[in-house]
Each structure stands twice: as structure tokens, then as C-alpha cells.
Structure 1
Amino acid sequence: MGSSVADGGDHSRMRQLNERAVLASVRSAGELRVAQIVEQSGLGRTAVEEVLASLVERRWLVEESPAIRGRGRPARSYRFRAEAGHIVGLDIGAFSVRGVLTDLDGRMLANARHPVTPETPRKKRLATADQVIADCARDAGVPVSRVWAVGAGTTGLVDAAGTVVRANAIPDWGGTDLAGHFTAQLVVADNDSQLAALAEQRRGGADPPADMVFLHAGLRTGLALVLDGRLRRGAYGAAADMSALRGVAWEAALEYLHAVVPAEIPTVDKAERAFAAARDGDRPARAAVRKYAHAMAVAAATAIAIVDPRLLVLGGAFSQAADVLLEPLTAELTRLCPRVPEVRASALGGLCVALGAASLAQDAVNTRLLAPSRGPLPQLTTRSL
């Protein structure tokens, strides 16, 4: 009697492990034929066939229509239903809240942005983030209930539990429990510069270097590190955070740009106007850009001297001014560093933090889906994580 119960439990456990093995194989490849799933999962063909039939029935996988080539039965292939759920990545800053909505494979389907100010109260800033999620879902044509996970990037230091420990740019932001606010089944949060670097590592090119310093330049400035192909957060999530060092005059550097445009221009637009003037050959604006580049280079050179990376990436909103900013930045680095890595601009622009937050949330979803301890995969619904 006891033996049969134990045997039943062992069989159920084995089936769960097989499901996760098959799902992991298809998830990592995008689409696989049965023979490839057998090879990658290490399971027998009969076990694979049984699991595939079950996962298709429960709508985790889709059997693709095979291409017919020559004689014989065409090989069947399967793909993961990336459209079954969605992920939102947020960039919650002092001057705006941005969001992107992706499918479970990371394909961006919509994005939205709402302005705020550093003085916007915490409750309203969070409500703006909720509205950005709703706008992204609406524009993508999916219900908010199908947002399985939210990733949030924000200025300041964020602990492992998703609480903002310190945020100099937003007066009442310290202590905000980001992980506890959003209603998605999974919520993860991290520092904005860290997540911008994660987005660059994942989306910045076909063959990203193992070691990279990411200079996050915009209305807020930061640094982040990718070492040995992985984002390096540090013991407390503050790796490469130089904001408190007196020799790093990032905030004052923005005033160089602001001083060369009319005072009535809104703060959020002043740097863009200064870059545009420098692009047009305006001498005071070009001098302001050089001063700004010098301030950026001081902190970046410190990280370069420690890490000795192959690449420095200029990212964030100001990367869109690379045509006037990259040359003086490289010149300053050449003066400060014994060896200057390749310097290039990110193509992700102002969406870099939101895209990195979506990548962080995607990792959390994958961990949840592929963990054998989670039990059997259920019938897929809008709340299936």
C-alpha cells in the first residue's frame, strides 16, 4: 500500500522534471524538432512525445506546421508560446516614467512615457507608473491581466528585496517598496544604470564583449559594469556608484549645458538644445559640451583603470547626441587613461533602462517556469505563473 503511494509520487515527480527539461530545451532554442528535443533534454523519445502532447494540450507549446521536403513524414517542430503572457519594464525617474511591454521572448510590442518632476509625490509617481503599464497594454492590444511580470528600474540604490534604499534625485523616494506596489505575479527592481547596462549586454549587439563599462548619461548620470559577460551589481547593489564622491561633478556638469540655452527652456529639454547648438557649430555650446565630456570622463576613467575593459559604451538619452559628444569624451579619456578601450554609443537611447528592466523580469519568469520545485505546469491561463 505504502509502496504504491511512493511509486505514484515518484512518477509524478519524474513527470514534472521531464516537463521542465522539455520546456527548457524549446525555450532556449525558440523552435525545435522532436529529435532535437530528445537530444537536448536527454530523455527517451517516448517520454518526450508524452510530454509534448501534454504541453501542447495545456497551451505551453505550439506544434508548428512542418515544411514538406521529399518523401516520408515531415519532421514535427515545436515552439514556446511567447505570446501567452507579457512583461513590462519600467524606468521610473525624476523627470519621467517610461515603460515597454514585451512578449515572453523579449520582443517589444509597445512603449509609453509620462512626464513627472522631482517634486512629484511618491503616491502620484507610482500611480503614473501604473498608468504607463495600462497604456502599454492598451497599445499592444492585450489585457493588463496578461502582464505576468514587472521589472522596475529607478534612480538610486535598490536592495535585493526591491526597496529603494537611497535616491538623491527624488526627495521622497527613499523607502519606496517597488516590489510590493505592483500587482503582477512577479515584480523585480534594480538601479537604473545597472539595468541600462543589462539591456546593452543583452540587446546592444550580436557579440557583446565580456567586459564593459557603461556610462549612463542623461538628466541623471551613472556607471555600471559588465564583467565576464555578467552584470556586476556588487555585494549591496552599488558597484560603480560614484555619485557620492566629491571628485565626481556629474550634477554640476549639466549646468555647463544648461547655461548656453535660454533660461525659459524647460529643464528636461535644455541639454538637447545645447547639443543641437553644438551640432550647428555654436562656439559656446561646443565649449560647454567639452566641459561636460570632461566631467563624464573623470569617473569613467576611474572605472576603466580598475576594470581595463575592451569597451566603454555611452548610453542613456544623451547617447543620441553621440555625434557631438563621443569625440570630446574620447579625447578626455585619452588624456586620463594609459589605455583607452573602444568607445561607442548605444543604439537603445532613452529606452535602455526600461528594456533592461524587462530583461530582468524575463529572467525571473524563466526561473519560475523552469524550476522543478514549482510542481506540474498548469493549464495555461492569464494567471499561470
Structure 2
Amino acid sequence: MAAARGNSADGGDLSRLRQLNERAVLAAVRAAGELRVAQIVERSGLGRTAVEDVLASLVARRWLVEERPAVRGRGRPARSYRFRAEAGYVVGLDIGAYSIRAVLADLGGRVLATEHRRVSPDTRRTARLAAADRTVADCARGAGVAASRIWAVGAGTTGLVDSQGVVVRVNAIPDWAGVDLAAHFRRAARLVVVDNDSQLAALAEHRRGVATDVSDLVLLHAGRRTGLALVLDGTLRRGFHGAAADLSTLPTLHWEPAIEYLHRCRAVPPDVPLADRAERAFAAAREGRRTALTAVRRYAREMAVAAATAVGVVDPQLVVLGGAFSQASDVLLEPLTEELTRLFPQGPEVRASTLGPECVALGSVCLALDALDERLLATARGALPVLAVRSI
């Protein structure tokens, strides 16, 4: 009886070892895109026999594809393997007061299509959700992807979002509080994850933007609305209620009304629509117009005070200027850095985002891919399942 128990334990240990080997090989190939067998052996730290065994299994379960090598000269050509990223797709959404953006990517995170649709703060909830649905459909159509092949949707939205994907509090959209985004988008995908837009912009910067080389950062999300978000020890910090770094309710901060410095800039003609006045103020600052430079400096000062509230608590390595106004970094970054340095002489470096207006949607893609990994990899018992939508 004792021997039987020992054999059972040994079998369990071997089974667990095989599972770990599968994940090690898969991680190596996914990270590189495509690898030869010898490279997989080197990067995974496994023996060649173990790697060969795992590769055969992962190909059979459709996680990897063996690429046909080109025949060059004598000898047997080296085999290579790649992750089957085209097995399914994810959509990342940015649902804001003034626009809806969608990004469609494969399972490897490669962006295949983007779409943009304008809305307004007065757009009713049903119309905003319908616009989001059309944006997703247009994005899939642009990529030539059937809707049934969208495995997961990640959605970022202005406002406070709870862990179930419900918008709890929002200032920018009158009837948006209470909308259950997770339930709505489950009509389009089996897996839906939702978060605040500023937090997802921070996630995008850490994974794909100017902050890939740091583990601690504060994102200053500057645009028509302002927000803060934190990545600490390489992890997006949402907080207990999903409200980490949400300072919008503090009356002592003037970051929301600070945009009025740009809107009221005397260098901007009075007939310019409100939606375009900030951009025109930045343009006037580029031309060296004194009143515009003063308006930008005043705006930067308020943004620096807002960022300083987080900088003083977490002492990050980096502050990222993100959001729509990051595209005006040529005139905004310098005064922002100077104002923040005045408050923290030994403070963090400040960089401007390079992700453009898709930053939140790209963060939503990252969130959706993380959720898929959690569903397919982290919680999978035993051997990995066949890579197919029914596995989710």
C-alpha cells in the first residue's frame, strides 16, 4: 500500500512537471514570435527531449504551428515554431464623452485594425452603446475578421468602474452611471473585462509605450478630462474600490477647471468651437504667442500639482504625460516638467506618451489578453486545452 501511494505521488509530480514544461516552452515562443528548436531549448532551460515532446503536444492542441523551413544547402533544415496568434482576436474599446475608439488585435497583441466614432456628452446611453457596437463591427470588418472569432472584449471608460464591469460614478456623461458594460458586451464575446480609461492608458504605457523599461510610474491623463493612474512593481494598481489615484472629488485640486486657461486664451479667435480651443491654444504657443504660452504654463502648473499628489506618495521613477494633450508635448512637456521639478527637485523623469489617441484602447487590448491568459493558462488544470473559442 505504501508503494502504491509513492507511485501515485510520483505520477502527480511528473504530471505537474509536464504542465510546467508546457508553459515554459509556450512562454518562450510567444515572447519571441518564432523560434527554432535549439533556441527554445536555450530559452526554456529544458532538455531537447523534453522540448521535442512538449512541442508535439502543443502543436496537436493548436497552440503552436510548425513552420516549414526553407531548404538551403546540405543537411536537415532547422525546424521553427510560432504561436498561433490567428486562432482568435480581441477588441479593445475606449468609450469616452466625445469619442469611441476600437482596436482589434490577434492573440499575440498585433494590431490589425482601428476605428473611431464621434459622440458627445449628451449622447444617450442606448445610442452610445449602439455606437460602440458599430465601432466594434467596423473594426472587425476592416480586419476581415468574423465577429464569431472575437474571443474577448476589453473596455475602458471614463468614470469609476467596479469589479463587475459596472460604471459606478462618472462626471463627464450625464446618464452613464449604472451602465453594465460587462453584460452588454457579452453579447459580442465570451469574455469581457472593463476598467477606468486612465488606468488602462497607464497599462498601455507600461506594456507598449514609453514606460516599458520602468516598474513604477504615474500616468497623468490629460485631455478634455484629467485623470491619474499608478503602475507599481510592474502591476496596475486599481485599489480596493477601483479608485486608486482618483482625485476628481478633491475640491483643493483645480485640474478639471484648469482647461479653462486654454479655452479662454486670448490668442484663440472667439469664434473657434469649444472642442477645438485647447488645440488652437497649443498651436498659438508653438508660434510663440505670449498669451498662449502663459495659458499653457498656467495649465501645466495645475497639472503638476495634481501629479504631485501621487508622486509624493509613491515616489515613482517616471511620470508619463498621456491622453489627447500628449500630442502637444512639444509645448506642454517642458513647462510641466519645470513645474513638477519645482515641487520635487529630486523628482521623477517626465516623458510624453507616443501611443497617440489609441492609448486607452490599446490598454483595453492588454486587459483582454491578460484575462484570456488567466482563463486559458493560469487556471487551467492539467494539460493545456485545445486553443479554440470553446476552451474559454
Matching residue within 351, 358, 362 for 1:355: 362
CA change 1:284–1:60 in 2 (3 A) is same
Deviations 1:191-210 (A, max 9, x none): 11111011111112485212
Name the structure 2 match of 1:31: 34
Pairing 1:285–2:292 present: yes
* Residue among 113, 120, 123 paired with 1:120: 123
1:211 corresponds, among 205, 208, 216, to: 216
Offset at 1:13?
A: 7.0
The equivalent of 2:86 in structure 1 is 83
For the residues of structure 2 that align with 1:12 and 1:373, how far apart are their CA atoms?
Answer: 17
Q: Find the aligned partners of 2:176 and 2:327 in 1 and give their Cα distance.
A: 28
Call closer, same or farther: CA 1:368–1:102 in 2, change over 3 Å: same
Question: Per the alignment, do residues 306 and 26 of structure 1 end up closer, same or farther by CA in structure 2, a change over 3 Å counting?
Answer: same
Distance 1:285 1:236, change over 3 A: same
Q: Write out per-residue CA displacement over residues 243-298 of structure 1, whole angstroms, 9 at most, x where no aligned residue.
A: 11111112211111111234443333221111111112222222211111111111
Q: Which residue of 1 aligns with 2:202?
A: 197
Q: Does 1:231 align with 2:227?
A: no
3-state DSSP of counterpart to 1:32: strand
Contact kept, 8 Å, 1:23 with 1:370, in 2: the verdict is no
TM-score (norm 1): 0.89
| Distance in 2 between residues matched to 1:19 and 1:312, nearest whole Å | 38
- For the structure 1 residues 252 and 57, does the alpha-carbon distance in structure 2 shift closer, same or farther, using more than 3 Å as the test? same
Deviations 1:116-175 (A, max 9, x none): 111211111111111111111111111121111111111111111211111111111111
> CA, structure 1 residues 377+227, in 2 after alignment: closer, same or farther (shift >3 Å)?
closer
Distance (Å, rounded) in 2 between the aligned partners of 1:128 and 1:207: 33
Given that residues 326 and 345 in structure 1 are in contact (C-alpha distance below 8 angstroms), is that contact kept between their aligned partners in structure 2?
yes
CA change 1:119–1:51 in 2 (3 A) is same
**Aligned-partner residue type, residue 276 of structure 1:** A
Relative to structure 1, the CA distance from residue 340 to residue 42 in structure 2 (aligned partners, 3 Å threshold; closer, same or farther) is closer
Matching of residue 327 in structure 1 with residue 334 in structure 2: yes
Alpha-carbon offset, residue 25 of structure 1: 4.2
1:297-336 map, 5 Å: 297-336=304-343
| Counterparts in 2 of 1:120 and 1:13: CA distance versus 1, 3 Å | farther
- Give, in angstroms, the shift of residue 65 of structure 1: 2.6
Contact 1:83 1:103 in 2 (8 A): yes
Partners of 1:303 and 1:205 in 2: CA distance? 19
How many aligned positions are there? 380
For residue 51 of structure 1, report the CA deviation from its aligned partner. Answer: 4.6
The answer (yes or no) to whether the contact 2:36–2:79 under 8 Å persists in 1 is yes
Cα RMSD, aligned residues only: 2.8
The TM-score, its normalising length taken from structure 2, stands at: 0.87
Q: Give me the whole-angstrom Cα distance separating, in 2, the residues matched to 1:222 and 1:161.
A: 21
**Is this contact kept in 1: 2:100–2:118, CA < 8 A?**
yes
Gaps of 5+ in 2: none
Matched, 1:251 2:256: yes
Match of 2:97 in 1: 94
Q: Deviations over 1:75-102 (max 9, x none)?
A: 3221111122111111111111111111
Contact 2:206 2:212 in 1 (8 A): no
> Is 1:295 aligned to residue 298 of structure 2?
no
Distance 1:180 1:79 in 2: 34
CA distance in 1, matches of 2:362, 2:118: 18
Deviation at 1:223, TM superposition (A): 0.9
Secondary structure at 1:223 match in 2: strand
Asked if 1:160 is matched to 2:167, the reply is: no
Is the Cα contact below 8 Å between 2:167 and 2:176 reproduced in 1?
A: yes
Structure 1 counterpart SS, 2:256? helix
1:312-338: CA deviation from partner (whole Å, max 9, x where unpaired): 111111001011111221222122224
**1:107 aligns to what?**
110
Q: Mean Cα displacement is larger for which, 70-79 or 150-159?
A: 70-79
Structure 1 vs Structure 2: percent identity of aligned residues?
A: 70
Measure how far apart 1:67 and its partner are.
Answer: 5.4
Indicate if the aligned counterparts of 2:377 and 2:384 stay in contact, CA closer than 8 A.
Answer: no
Q: Separation in 2 of the partners of 1:335 and 1:55? A: 55
Partners of 2:236 and 2:84 in 1: CA distance = 28
Measured in 2, the distance between the counterparts of 1:39 and 1:335 equals: 49
Residues 38 and 338 of structure 1: CA distance in aligned 2, closer, same or farther (over 3 Å): closer
Counterparts of 1:309 and 1:12, CA distance in 2: 43
Q: What do residues 322-365 of structure 1 show as CA deviations (whole Å, max 9, x unaligned)?
A: 11111221222122224232112110121111111111111111
Aligned partner of 1:340 in structure 2 is 347
In 1, are the aligned partners of 2:210 and 2:353 still within 8 Å (CA)?
no
Is the contact made by 2:376 and 2:385 (CA closer than 8 Å) also made in structure 1? no
- How is 1:359-378 mapped onto 2 (pairs within 5 angstroms)? 359-371=366-378, 373=380
Q: Alignment partner of 1:369: what SS?
A: helix
Contact 1:17–1:372 (CA under 8 A) maintained in structure 2: no
Question: Structure 1 residue 49: deviation in Å?
Answer: 3.9
Residue 294 to residue 28, structure 1, CA distance change in 2 (3 Å): same
Quote the Cα distance in structure 1 between the aligned partners of 2:103 and 2:273.
Answer: 25
Equivalent of 1:174, from 174, 177, 183? Answer: 177
